Amino acid sequence: MTDPQQVSRRTVITVGGAGLAAALAGITGTAPAAATVGGTSGAAGTTGAAAAKPGSGGIPPGPSTYGWNPADLLAFDPATHPWARHLRCLVPLAPRIAPFTPTQAHPNLDPGVRLSTLTIDDSGSIYEGRNQPIGLEGQVYTQRFWPYIDVWGTWHGQVLPSVPSDVVATPGAPGRTYGVIDIPNPGWTEAAHKNGVKTIGGWFWPRTGVDFGEFLVQAADGSFPVGDKLIEIRRYFGFDGLFINQEAAITAAQAGKLRDLFRYIKAQDPDFYLQYYDADLPNGNLNYQNMLNERNVGWLGTPGDPTVDSIFVNYGWPYTDRDLTASAKTATTAGFDPRAVAFAGVEHQQGGFNPAECFADYSYPGHPGPVSVGLFVEDAFWNGTATVTPDGRAKYRDLEQRFWSGPTGNPVSSGRQLPRKPPYRQDVLNYKKFDGVAHAIAERSPYGAFPIVTSFNLGVGSTFYLDGKQVRDSGWDNQGCADRSLTWQYWTDGLTVTLDESIAYEGAHSLALSGSGIMHLFKTDITQSAHTKLQVLAAGLATVEVGITRRSAPNTITWTKLVPGKPRDGWTEFRGMIHKDKDRIARISLRTSGTGHLGKVLLDDVNAIHGKPGKVRAFEVADAGPGAGSTRHLTFAWSLRSDASAYDILQTSRDSIRWLGRVHRDVFFAESVDLTAGRSFELVPIGANGNRGTAATATL
């Protein structure tokens, strides 16, 4: 893989001499070199980022992640780190329900095939060298297709904390030194964990300014100080492991010590997930094998004494192990499940919808894949300069949907519409040549219990709404506050469904529906402990029904018509009941008629649906320095509640409410707040069912 320090993936991506960036400009018009995001403070009381030029932002204000070398790891102390609490993921990894093929979009697709990704998790951001988990950038990319992902990895590299802001703001500048270790954006870890996805940071070698031997120091008692610190930061920040991009030759002795380091980490922390790139061999030589074979399989160790968890196979496998059966045999012979340890790489950063590798030729409905698949920069189509407008974002979200769900945008009809033939890595936006991830990977689900609630929040937006009322009019981003994903986007019959940011009930998006038909929402495995109550907030729809598929009859949907209430602020609440049945719920669907918007869906036990969290204690606000223009940065802190799953921070005055952010932790940094809009603030706890508790108040 290309070292992310050497090539800026946000500036120019060369594909077949023309470039993916040029192809992207072709569908959206000429992209501006810089564009304004957000604008004046307005109703939101915040000021947006000044420009969308990638990499131009330097060090973002407030909390940001950075690169780590051994000295940084060994010096880490959360008690003295100024922003440590702001960079934690406190959301546990959600369990996923067991596979149940009859309710899959493709019932004959083997759910044993897995998927890992390496994603630019700050795509579109002006902050390239330092990653900002929460910001004011409504144009950045966020992931919404978590049901197809098992292991998500960050890919971009980050500069060391010692690099000054003016150097960080100048890609390629002397002294812009990257760290070897790169932890994931905590917001992405939060979103991934809600959906049952593991997240891994990066280990990039070679890097300048550091001796590789510093990583391999072993104490007299056999411990590895760097290994202990890697375990500490994994547990403290709440992510799940590392992708090991070891892409420069080392000595045989160093390679042996590196294996010992990995074995030590796995022995001390079995949950520490390590995925190794098919580059350096166990003897230290750099030699891409483009398959799993006897030369590189040693990195796995043994089933009883693992070194790493899996290997990301380099992209040349179509020429060395075309159908991937030799790699599968190598894994099996070594005692491993091939689909747990071997991930065939697909290079989407250069290939887009037309990569040189086609995993779906060997994993598709009716044909189980021999190994699993690893996607490299699958979000390369996201063009930060073109996505500063709603129309631009809509076009790229449409491309995203076709990438994951197939060329029709409906996973039940995935599969290419045009034949694949050389030259590859050209015509990179022609989605008709790409099967869609849903054609090779079965959807997964975390929906094993109630409540289930979504308002289609993607963790990014140009506005924010609460109860159908706009409470922010400028851009924001925080992948961590996104709702759990719909299982399918969009498995429909008779309906046209599109993501819409022009109107929302809660958050920044809704679903625009037209026609009359069915949309399957959630793949579930739920035993009802009581009757289930359902609430749907919709605008403009004539009728809404809920459809329940039971485990014992997966081909039958039982429909219940929901009763509409009186419209309020343009939204109508439809209500209904699903009576308790010992037969488990395997899928939840809606059937609608009319043209309108879907704003929120909530299902919960009848006795719990109205429950609310209690009032938060110890809510405090403090000034954190000057922001953009005449604004001020602010920090907030409070005590967590066991009955709350999230917290909204609001700026209030006598006649207005302004949403500043939503988080799952006990601290929040608000960037560039306009205090002329008010110095009073509220903290509202939110329950797992989405209900809002009594606000705590604080004044600056």
pLDDT attached to residue 386: 84
Q: What is the pLDDT of residues 38-51, one digit of tens each?
A: 222 322 233 333 34
pLDDT attached to residue 176: 95
Q: What is the pLDDT of residues 254-280, one digit of tens each?
A: 999 999 999 999 999 999 999 999 999
Domains and CATH numbers, the chain: 20-26+57-439 (3.20.20.80), 452-605 (2.60.120.260), 620-699 (2.60.40.10)
Of residues 406, 412, 342, the one with CA closest to residue 113? 342
The interaxial angle of helices 390-405 and 20-28, nearest 10 deg, is 120
HSE-CB for 559 with a 13 A CA cutoff: 11
pLDDT attached to residue 525: 99
Are 628 and 474 contacting, i.e. CB atoms less than 8 angstroms apart?
A: no
Pairing of strands 632-637, 464-466: unpaired
Q: What is the pLDDT of residues 100-115, one digit of tens each?
A: 999 999 999 999 999 9
Q: What is the pLDDT of residues 359-383, one digit of tens each?
A: 999 999 999 999 999 999 999 988 7
HSE-CB for 122 with a 13 A CA cutoff: 35
Is residue 663 over pLDDT 80? yes
* Confidence category of residue 334, pLDDT binned at 50, 70, 90: very high
Q: Per-residue pLDDT averaged across 286-296, rounded?
A: 99
pLDDT attached to residue 39: 28
* Confidence category of residue 35, pLDDT binned at 50, 70, 90: very low
pLDDT attached to residue 382: 87
pLDDT attached to residue 57: 84
In sequence order, which residues have a C-beta less than 8 Å from that of residue 437 and are 6 or more positions away? 115, 145, 148, 375, 403, 404, 405
Of residues 626, 544, 624, 554, the one with CA closest to residue 587? 554
The interaxial angle of helices 252-268 and 225-237, nearest 10 deg, is 40
DSSP classification of residue 23: H
In sequence order, which residues have a C-beta less than 8 Å from that of residue 438 and are 6 or more positions away? 105, 106, 148, 404, 405, 406, 411, 414
* Confidence category of residue 72, pLDDT binned at 50, 70, 90: very high
Of residues 114, 255, 266, the one with CA closest to residue 198? 114
Of residues 375, 77, 357, the one with CA closest to residue 236? 77
Burial class (CB in 10 A: 0-12, 13-18, 19+), 133: buried
Is residue 161 over pLDDT 80? yes
CA–CA gap between residue 357 and residue 474 (Å, rounded) = 41
pLDDT attached to residue 378: 97
Structure tokens at 513: 């529906």
CA–CA gap between residue 105 and residue 365 (Å, rounded) = 10
Is residue 140 over pLDDT 90? yes
* 519 residue type, one letter: M
pLDDT attached to residue 54: 63
Residue position matching structure tokens 């209900």? 691
Is residue 474 over pLDDT 50? yes
Report the phi/psi class of residue 82: left, alpha or beta, with left for phi > 0 and alpha for psi in -120 to 50.
alpha
Burial class (CB in 10 A: 0-12, 13-18, 19+), 260: middle
CA–CA gap between residue 388 and residue 442 (Å, rounded) = 33
Is residue 547 over pLDDT 50? yes
Burial class (CB in 10 A: 0-12, 13-18, 19+), 442: buried
CA–CA gap between residue 65 and residue 133 (Å, rounded) = 8
* Confidence category of residue 55, pLDDT binned at 50, 70, 90: low
User: pTM, whole model, 2 decimals?
Assistant: 0.94
Structure tokens at 116: 């890992």
Three-class DSSP labels, 375-390: EECCCCCCCCCHHHCH
Structure tokens at 446: 């975390």
Burial class (CB in 10 A: 0-12, 13-18, 19+), 291: buried
* 100 residue type, one letter: F
pLDDT attached to residue 523: 99
Residue position matching structure tokens 């964990």? 193
pLDDT attached to residue 37: 24
- The CB density around residue 570, as the number of other CB atoms within 10 Å, is 14
Helix or strand run (H / E) with residue 165 = helix 165-168
Is residue 67 over pLDDT 70? yes
Q: What is the pLDDT of residues 632-641, one digit of tens each?
A: 999 999 999 9
Mean pLDDT over all residues of the chain? 93
Q: What is the pLDDT of residues 421-459, one digit of tens each?
A: 999 999 999 999 999 999 999 999 999 999 999 999 999
Greatest CA separation found in the chain?
Answer: 74
The CA angle 619-620-622, to the nearest 5 degrees, is 160
* Confidence category of residue 156, pLDDT binned at 50, 70, 90: confident
DSSP classification of residue 168: H
* Confidence category of residue 26, pLDDT binned at 50, 70, 90: very low
* 298 residue type, one letter: G
CA–CA gap between residue 142 and residue 556 (Å, rounded) = 35
Q: Per-residue pLDDT averaged across 122-146, rounded?
A: 94
DSSP classification of residue 99: P
CA–CA gap between residue 136 and residue 150 (Å, rounded) = 29
